[in-house]
Chain A
Amino acid sequence: MKVLVPVKRVLDFNVKPRVKVDGTGVDLANVKMSMNPFDEIAIEEAVRLKESGAASEVVVVTIGVAKAESDVLLTARAMGADRAILIQTDEEVEPLAVAKLLAKVVEEEQPGLVILGKQAIDDDSNQTGQMLAALLGWPQGTFASKVEIAGERVKVTREVDGGLETVDLRLPAIVTTDLRLNEPRYATLPNIMKAKSKPVAKKTVADYGVDVRPRLRTLKVAEPAKRQAGIKVGSVDELVERLKGLGIAK
């Protein structure tokens, strides 16, 4: 079984986003970009499936700028993906259009499982996996904390508001990762060196004949209202007085 892992290049999670002064977006010039953390978890899961014999090949795909080949796609291959596909574009592509492009990739690659991050930490949409599942008519196991392949089916334990829920899905299926699914391995330097010889197929959005024009128009991006730091109290007694003042203690 082949596993396809779509990944996104985003502002590194340790970098504090700065809103551009003209209100058109978040400043991404000269800042560290990395693989979306949930996507690293997706690659780790796919590589573990291969290591356990449940998967035969791990293919990673990204839609984005040319530079992704030498950063996120290299990291992905160093983590254990066998080959990569870069669908190059300099435009922002919305989840719906991403899902349509991925559906075309799925048609070509015929994976038995697609594992995606549950959300990208830049636009926080949490849509692509579910949309891809809809377009393909496949089942979806979202927000996964455990994935077990058993023959023609996959059991996915999901992190839900009340706790955990397990669903039993027919393969092929879509899985989206939550934080507790695994702890991704580091891409070590020797593996990064070796990864450079793993193939990257270069495509463009036009190769897939998908209309990627945005449906949402961003009118403005602004800073949220800022909280002011308050006061510090010196003792538990003072804190108790404050809590009484707030009406939550008697």
Chain B
Amino acid sequence: MKTLVWVEHDNKALKDATLAAVTAAAKLGDVDLLVAGADCAGVADAAAKIAGAGKVLLADDAAYTHALAENVAPLVATLMQGYDAVLFPATTTGKNIAPRVAALLDVMQISDILSVEGPDIFTRPIYAGNAIATVQSTDAKKVITVRGTAFEKAAASGGSAPVESVSGEGDKGLSAFAGAEIAESARPELTSAKVIVSGGRALQNSENFHALIEPLADKLGAAVGASRAAVDAGYVPNDYQVGQTGKIVAPEVYIAIGISGAIQHLAGMKDSKTIIAINKDEDAPIFQVADIGLVGDLFKIVPELTEKL
């Protein structure tokens, strides 16, 4: 089977989520990579080094700078004449583009796969991960998004794939990029961090969140996450949200502080290797999934913990 993997990048660097999609694709067959962007030859070079890459298709066009779905979906759909499957990382970019490609190809997408069970059989989570469905695609071509935490990352080096230029229709004139507020942080990225410290509504306000959660995270070299409640209450921005409809994470250690553990939150973190919960309510559902729990007042516990580490 010939597969094409969408390379996630910001025109400068290749994003890690790509590597998990490459692993999933390799279970189906040969893997080529698509780098669509502008002035992104460096990304194509990085993609060419991914272990197992067959070739890299580079679509370098100003119309693809911000990966607007209206412009890149027709490009992918056209390239699919030569492929049996296309895989996107299940990032906000992948989730935005893939269904548009699927509809152009008249294919029912398989979202957020957890495993490849056969050439057309996959598992995927439904109901916030409270059930796992095994599905078989009957479409001739497959359009797939890949859950990054479910697959090992392919090695970012060792490959030496040729880079081939391709072009599409460019700007469809439907949409334009108007700006972005991308948070700059010296901390690790949530989806690839080894340790995550997450805070919930019990922090009470933004000041407490920053004063308690961040020093602990920095002591541990951890990323900072949050429950939906904390994001909705405005303690932290949306990109901190871990859960069913936020980010899906599976770090070595996940420390949940003042998070009760609604199923929507558990959906985003229950595949973490070790879960640690600090909560004043000993009946909080978070303790049902936590490996290590500490019942008590987070306003006393967290500063003490930060100091003793």
A interface residues, Cβ below 8 angstroms from B:
11, 13, 16-17, 19, 26, 38, 94-96, 99, 118-119, 121-135, 137-140, 142-143, 145, 155, 158-170, 178-180, 214-224, 227, 229-240, 242-243, 246, 248-250
CB atoms of B132 and A155 under 8 A apart: no
B interface residues, Cβ below 8 angstroms from A:
66, 68-70, 73, 91-93, 95-104, 106-112, 121, 125-139, 173-183, 191, 194-195, 220, 228, 231-232, 237-239, 244-245, 247, 252-253, 263-264, 270, 274-276, 282, 287-295, 301, 304-305, 308-309
Contacts of B73 in A (CB 8 A): 134
Measured between alpha carbons, how far is A141 from B228 in the docked complex, in Å? 22
Contacts of B68 in A (CB 8 A): 167
Measured between alpha carbons, how far is A224 from B136 in the docked complex, in Å? 19
Q: A130-B99, A163-B181, A164-B180 are in contact. Are A221 and B132 (CB under 8 A)?
A: yes
CB atoms of A165 and B180 under 8 A apart: yes
Measured between alpha carbons, how far is A145 from B181 in the docked complex, in Å? 13
Contacts of B66 in A (CB 8 A): 165
CB atoms of A223 and B178 under 8 A apart: no
Contacts of B100 in A (CB 8 A): 130-131, 133-134, 140
CB distance from A209 to the nearest CB of B (A): 16
Identify the closest chain A residue to B234 (Cβ). Answer: A180
CB atoms of B127 and A122 under 8 A apart: yes
Measured between alpha carbons, how far is A135 from B174 in the docked complex, in Å? 14
Contacts of A140 in B (CB 8 A): 69-70, 96, 100, 175
CB atoms of A167 and B175 under 8 A apart: yes
CB distance from B189 to the nearest CB of A (A): 9
Contacts of B270 in A (CB 8 A): 227
CB distance from A246 to the nearest CB of B (A): 6
Knowing that A169-B176, A217-B135 are A-B contacts, what are 5 other residue pairs whose CB atoms are under 8 Å apart, sorted by A's residue number?
Answer: A166-B177, A166-B179, A167-B175, A180-B232, A216-B137
Residue of B101, B106, B121, B178 near A166 (CB, 8 A) is B178
Of the A-B pairs whose beta carbons lie under 8 Å apart in the complex, a sample of 30, sorted by A's number, is A16-B263, A26-B127, A96-B103, A96-B109, A124-B111, A127-B111, A129-B99, A130-B98, A130-B100, A131-B102, A134-B101, A134-B103, A143-B92, A164-B181, A165-B179, A180-B232, A216-B135, A219-B135, A219-B136, A222-B131, A222-B132, A230-B275, A233-B292, A236-B294, A236-B301, A236-B304, A238-B294, A248-B194, A248-B195, A249-B309
CB atoms of B292 and A231 under 8 A apart: yes
CB atoms of B264 and A13 under 8 A apart: yes
Q: A161-B91, A236-B294, A240-B305 are in contact. Are A95 and B139 (CB under 8 A)?
A: no
CB atoms of A161 and B191 under 8 A apart: yes
CB distance from A13 to the nearest CB of B (A): 7
CB distance from A11 to the nearest CB of B (A): 7
CB atoms of A224 and B111 under 8 A apart: no
Measured between alpha carbons, how far is A127 from B305 in the docked complex, in Å? 43
Measured between alpha carbons, how far is A220 from B126 in the docked complex, in Å? 12
Q: Is the interface of A mostly helix, strand, loop or mixed?
A: mixed
Q: Is the interface of B mostly helix, strand, loop or mixed?
A: mixed
CB distance from A42 to the nearest CB of B (A): 14
Contacts of B180 in A (CB 8 A): 160, 162-166
Residue of A11, A170, A248 near B252 (CB, 8 A) is A248
Measured between alpha carbons, how far is A145 from B244 in the docked complex, in Å? 17
Q: A131-B103, A178-B238, A236-B294 are in contact. Are A161 and B179 (CB under 8 A)?
A: no
Q: Considering the complex of A and B, which 10 residue pairs feature the smallest CB-CB distances, nearest first? A: A215-B108, A230-B291, A130-B99, A134-B103, A131-B103, A139-B174, A127-B99, A17-B127, A139-B175, A162-B182
Residue of B69, B104, B191, B237 near A163 (CB, 8 A) is B237
Contacts of B244 in A (CB 8 A): 121, 124
> A13, A145, A236: which has the most chain B beta carbons within 10 Å?
A236
Q: A139-B174, A232-B294, A239-B294 are in contact. Are A96 and B102 (CB under 8 A)?
A: yes
Contacts of B98 in A (CB 8 A): 127, 130
Residue of A134, A162, A223, A239 near B292 (CB, 8 A) is A239
CB atoms of A215 and B137 under 8 A apart: yes
CB distance from A97 to the nearest CB of B (A): 8
Contacts of B138 in A (CB 8 A): 215-217
CB atoms of B292 and A242 under 8 A apart: yes
Residue of A121, A133, A167, A216 near B128 (CB, 8 A) is A121
Contacts of B135 in A (CB 8 A): 216-219
Measured between alpha carbons, how far is A164 from B101 in the docked complex, in Å? 23
Measured between alpha carbons, how far is A218 from B294 in the docked complex, in Å? 41
CB distance from A193 to the nearest CB of B (A): 31
CB atoms of A161 and B103 under 8 A apart: no
Measured between alpha carbons, how far is A234 from B73 in the docked complex, in Å? 54
CB atoms of B309 and A221 under 8 A apart: no
CB atoms of B111 and A248 under 8 A apart: no
